[in-house]
Chain A
């Protein structure tokens, strides 16, 4: 489904991704784990076309995305939940969802389907998104991405700063999406949030994927976590 081959991305003269490669199948959850500054967020931004890689290839179902203009990448069917949510805070909940729907021409029925995942948002449609609670903002960031009707969704630390009940809601939605065949590329810092949802884990260090393992290896081989994330 999503294939990333040998991406090399830079911020100015500083190289952040070095031959970064991953692949993701339909209905699979792949988690990128690594220390701060390892290049996980940059990898997502490069896949989305927000940071133009100098070399490498991103394909979705065989269609090359790296040569597309940045705004065409989501139209290929990639939803994005950025780090820190990055909602359009002065727009209402409904307007934020509308931005997602416009991406691929989704209509009312798509919005209704997405709101079934997050019923609480239905009560807040006319509220400015910046006034929502942290958990509701995260729900909206995910709902906005789902309005794109993505075949692959990229999530950058979706559980950051959330209370346990909200983390559990997000986990349930991810499992549901996985069941629906959506490929999920998840960047996480919290290992406990990864275990229940991920199928595989790719350890990112210094801008490249060092090792990719099944999620069971996190329990079987705690040394991996000590080595790449600094926790055990």
Chain B
């Protein structure tokens, strides 16, 4: 294949990676932005989303599309409920202390991971895509499902933007993010906002996992890579900046996809990590972060 078509193929792969990363990192960024909690267990919520998707599709076996639709509805809700419970039982009791919550979410990471190993087993499990079709370009055919993943991620991000920027729920979240004390002094139940945001953040990771699991398979250790990439994205974009998160996810996703196709996935991770190191040295607040952060 010539360089041009090969670059186009690599860009498409990068776009898929970027789409999933946008959703996953947005969840992590929301949780940090509003709660100032570094959620080390975020990747495990992603893994749980994939595992629950496999479980749901294996039970609802009428047609792959029906099973997938059920998974897309059930997995994020189940993961959100688990995250909500974790927030109420653990993070709230730690009074959202930044250091203590890091340790606590590391603990949550291992508990969720080992529970998945116990009940789901160590083997990767495939989930059938809801439909198969190929889009034929002049140089190669490409999975239609992968492009649907990109479109779905864009749709979800637009909905998220609308909710955050244009609705009362979003206003309450933003007010809590800027100043929790003052928000409470105006009747905002800050603790309930925290619990909801933690659950919604986990749901974003779960949706991303459900969308990608027909391409990558479910596995109890699959949470590590998205966690690492999400941290890279959130640091690069600027801690707590949603706009920065989206831009950084597209940058990292595209570069990861393109470098992986042209060279190797390991080199892609090295490049991302180097980029973060450079940003930390020359622009510690990230691309869109506020200086005081």
- Is A50 a contact partner of B171 (Cβ separation < 8 A)? no
Complex interface bits, A153-182 against B, C-beta within 8 A gives 1, otherwise 0: 000000000000000000000000000000
A72 to B179, CA, bound (A): 17
A residues in contact with B186, CB < 8 Å:
74, 80, 99-100, 102-103, 144, 148
A residues in contact with B125, CB < 8 Å:
none
A222 to B251, CA, bound (A): 67
A residues in contact with B174, CB < 8 Å:
88, 90-91, 95
- Is B171 a contact partner of A98 (Cβ separation < 8 A)? yes
Judge if A86 is at the interface, Cβ distance under 8 Å. Answer: yes
B residues in contact with A89, CB < 8 Å:
178
- Is A99 a contact partner of B188 (Cβ separation < 8 A)? yes
Q: Which of B171, B174, B182 has the most CB of A within 10 A?
A: B182
B residues in contact with A102, CB < 8 Å:
168, 171-172, 186-188
- Is B187 a contact partner of A86 (Cβ separation < 8 A)? no
B residues in contact with A75, CB < 8 Å:
187
A98 to B183, CA, bound (A): 12
Judge if B124 is at the interface, Cβ distance under 8 Å. Answer: no
Complex interface bits, A65-95 against B, C-beta within 8 A gives 1, otherwise 0: 0000111111100001010001011110001
B residues in contact with A50, CB < 8 Å:
181, 184-185
Judge if B268 is at the interface, Cβ distance under 8 Å. Answer: no
- Is B171 a contact partner of A91 (Cβ separation < 8 A)? yes
- Is B171 a contact partner of A74 (Cβ separation < 8 A)? no
Judge if A48 is at the interface, Cβ distance under 8 Å. Answer: yes
Q: Known: A88-B178, A88-B179, A90-B178. Contact between A71 and B184, CB under 8 A?
A: yes
- Residues of A in contact, count (CB < 8 Å): 26
CB distance from A171 to the nearest CB of B (A): 23
- Is A70 a contact partner of B184 (Cβ separation < 8 A)? yes
A residues in contact with B187, CB < 8 Å:
71-72, 74-75, 102-104, 148
A residues in contact with B179, CB < 8 Å:
86, 88
A74 to B184, CA, bound (A): 8
CB distance from B41 to the nearest CB of A (A): 27
Looking across the interface, which residue of chain B has its beta carbon closest to that of A88? Answer: B178
Complex interface bits, B58-83 against A, C-beta within 8 A gives 1, otherwise 0: 00000000000000000000000000
B residues in contact with A95, CB < 8 Å:
171, 174-175
Looking across the interface, which residue of chain B has its beta carbon closest to that of A100? Answer: B186
CB distance from A91 to the nearest CB of B (A): 6
Q: Which of A71, A75, A102 has the most CB of B within 10 A?
A: A71
Judge if B52 is at the interface, Cβ distance under 8 Å. Answer: no
Looking across the interface, which residue of chain B has its beta carbon closest to that of A51? Answer: B181
A residues in contact with B168, CB < 8 Å:
98, 102
CB distance from A192 to the nearest CB of B (A): 28
Complex interface bits, B178-203 against A, C-beta within 8 A gives 1, otherwise 0: 11011111111110000000000000
A91 to B17, CA, bound (A): 33
A132 to B234, CA, bound (A): 30
Looking across the interface, which residue of chain A has its beta carbon closest to that of B188? Answer: A71
Looking across the interface, which residue of chain B has its beta carbon closest to that of A48? Answer: B185
14 contacts between A and B (CB under 8 A): A71-B184, A73-B185, A74-B186, A80-B185, A82-B182, A88-B182, A91-B171, A98-B171, A99-B183, A102-B168, A102-B186, A102-B188, A103-B186, A103-B187
Q: Please give the residue numbers on chain A whose beta carbons come within 8 Å of chain B beta carbons, in ascending order.
A: 48-50, 69-75, 80, 82, 86, 88-91, 95, 98-100, 102-104, 144, 148
Q: Please give the residue numbers on chain B whose beta carbons come within 8 Å of chain A beta carbons, in ascending order.
A: 168, 171-172, 174-175, 178-179, 181-190
Pairs A-B, 5 closest by C-beta atoms: A103-B187, A71-B189, A88-B178, A80-B185, A86-B182
